[in-house]
Amino acid sequence: MDRFAVWGLICIAVGCGFFVSALRIYLARRRFLAVAQAAPGTVVEIRVRGIGRNAVGVPVLEFQPHGEKARRVESWMGSGFQGFTVGQTVPVRYDPADPDRAEVDTFAVMWGLALLRAGYALLFLVMGAVALILG
């Protein structure tokens, strides 16, 4: 087996891994959105996670679930997809069975990571296929 074939198989394996990851994120979001309810929210704080170039700002949201007291939750996603500012009004989706499971309801936050991983999957699968064809 020549080196193109080896690299091709490695790229295909990595691409499959990214595809599985994207699929898992997609299915988890679909399950969440199937039960989630909407509420208006406000960004009350930006918490920095990570160090140096790897640091991201993660918004802390305050919202009021229907018929309950106000809640504060930390977003699942950081500022790599969408920047937030303190005081900004944002749409929120939350799980009525567990209001602490809440997220900003924007396309970038809900679907950005799944799309990014699907893009990486496509890239690696194409690279692997090209390597196998050339090898």
pLDDT in tens, 68-80: 899 999 988 776 5
Provide the residue range defining the domain that includes 58. 3-134
Task: Please give the distance of CA 64 from its chain centroid, rounded to a whole number.
Answer: 23
Q: How sure is the predictor about 131, in pLDDT bands with cuts at 50, 70 and 90?
A: very high
Is 60 exceeded by the pLDDT of residue 23?
A: yes
pLDDT in tens, 94-108: 999 999 999 999 998
Give the contacts of 96 (CB within 8 A, at least 6 positions apart): 35, 36, 37, 65, 66
Is 60 exceeded by the pLDDT of residue 81?
A: no
pLDDT (mean) for 7-27: 97
pTM of structure: 0.83
Mean pLDDT of the chain: 91
Task: Provide the number of structural domains found in the chain.
Answer: 1
Q: Which residue has the tokens 């490695």?
A: 10
Q: How sure is the predictor about 50, in pLDDT bands with cuts at 50, 70 and 90?
A: confident
For a pLDDT cut of 70, what percent of the chain falls above it? Answer: 96
Strand partners, 74: 60
CA dist., res. 61 & res. 40, Å (int): 10
CA dist., res. 81 & res. 75, Å (int): 12
pLDDT in tens, 56-65: 888 999 999 9
Strand partners, 73: 61
CA dist., res. 10 & res. 98, Å (int): 41
DSSP 87: T
